[in-house]
Structure 1
Amino acid sequence: MTPKEFREVCRSGDFDSNSAGYAPGYAQANLVILPKEHAYDFLLFCQRNPKPCPLLEVSDVGNIEMKRTAPGSDIRTDLPKYRIYEDGVLTAEVTDIKEYWKDDFVTFLLGCSFSFEDALENAGLAVRHLQEKRNVPMYRTNIPCDSAGVFSGNLVVSMRPYKPRDAIKAAMITGRYPNVHGSPVHIGSPCDIGINNINAPDYGDAVTIHPDEVPVFWACGVTPQAVLLASKPAFAITHAPGHMFVTDLVNESLACL
């Protein structure tokens, strides 16, 4: 599917799977929607934490169309699945947010590591969760983000296992994509970053890690969801982990030479 076709299928309500592997070659984005009163604080949070929160687009107040990254889109319907947070509590998962929408909402689109997976595969580095047809495993860590206004909390990471030599290659490849999380934040022992059980991710699905492989961890756009739970704003909307907004941006347009 093209990005537009993917968004249209989501809009019809006929698709609620995760978006990994769909619209190959095009950038997928994490989503955060907040009332205007908290928008500046979150913008500042993103500016201070560019690894987990690389900004692709920020909407005008009340605008449902992502004009710069996906003209003609409707942010209320064009994702497979959304999460609703009230006072820091996850209260619902839904396939559209029309009934929740208010005219003072500001939408943030953040780069997603799905966007550098094409480059990994093109370099001969298989992506395990795609091989196993699963959602990428994601974990809460003990690494604090830089606070901004009402927002504070710890980093969330995604994980892909590789042999040590391939982990170095993966780090070099993904380092060219700072707009979609860039190079890894940690390679090796999960315990060093507060992950006690690599086989029990906090979000997504566990994947096979072979004895000759090491886990490689990248900053993840699910970090704002952990921050929302910790910071407890009155209201917020995000994507469900792995259920991304597919933009019209070509992945390679986000790479640095």
Structure 2
Amino acid sequence: MNKTAPPSTFVDLNELQLDTALALVGQPHMTLPVGGGAGTQYLQCLIDGLCDLSLTDPLTGLPNRRYMRQALDGEIDRVSRSGEAALLLMLDIDHFKRINDSHGHHAGDQVLQSVARTLQSCLRPMDTVARYGGEEFAIILPACQFGFGKVVAERVRRAIESTPIALSPHQSVHVTISIGGAFTMQWIRSTAQLWIERADTQLYIAKDSGRNCVSIEEQPDSTVSAEEKDELLGMLTGCFYNDADAKTLSPAPEHSTGSAAH
């Protein structure tokens, strides 16, 4: 018996109040299409545009915190399966409030935009740089080995320090950043929040050390001593044998050759 397919439901886009959505995606005068297929394509483009807006920082054009959290979750999943190292850097513009107080908030916006451009210019295409909030940025560096973490962070720090930021045709400023970093735990599925907290801890250390410096979390010591190996081997060996095996493997009791006492 053939089942009757449910009737298709068409939405008349002219009945939807889309003015605000169209204005947000920058196309307030777009003409609504006529027809089911065209309407579906039009609505999908509008949804995609709104999704992009929700994941982008409007001032710098960088991904925002929401996007970064999704990227962190994806990187943690990849590292837990591959065991490949990845580094998270948290960056903070030093004394940013002084810029706003001395030159105004427009100058502060110019500084944020310049820092964002510089960060993008000194990273790989596979890296993710996001504006985490305020004057703080975050960088996710996949496939970054432990030995290169501080090298990369120092390169970023120097790039920001050496880049003049033009506030006007006759005035420019220089800013510095403090950087804290933490690697993922290899082969372990952690959480984005814990990873951020570990990197943030290193950022606070960099600030407490005088700012304009880098602090990267030390690589956890995963080496196992000979005593620990022997102990672990003994524990594993014990798990492989049950009581019956133990009886079979244990030496037979000795029999007395003398006369039994009555």
Q: TM class by shorter-chain length?
A: under 0.3
More contact order relative to length (CA 8 Å, sep ≥ 6):
1
Q: 1 or 2, which has the higher strand percentage? A: 1
TM-score (structure 1 length as normaliser): 0.25
For the pair shown, the structure with the greater C-alpha radius of gyration is 2
Q: 1 or 2, which has the higher helix percentage? A: 2
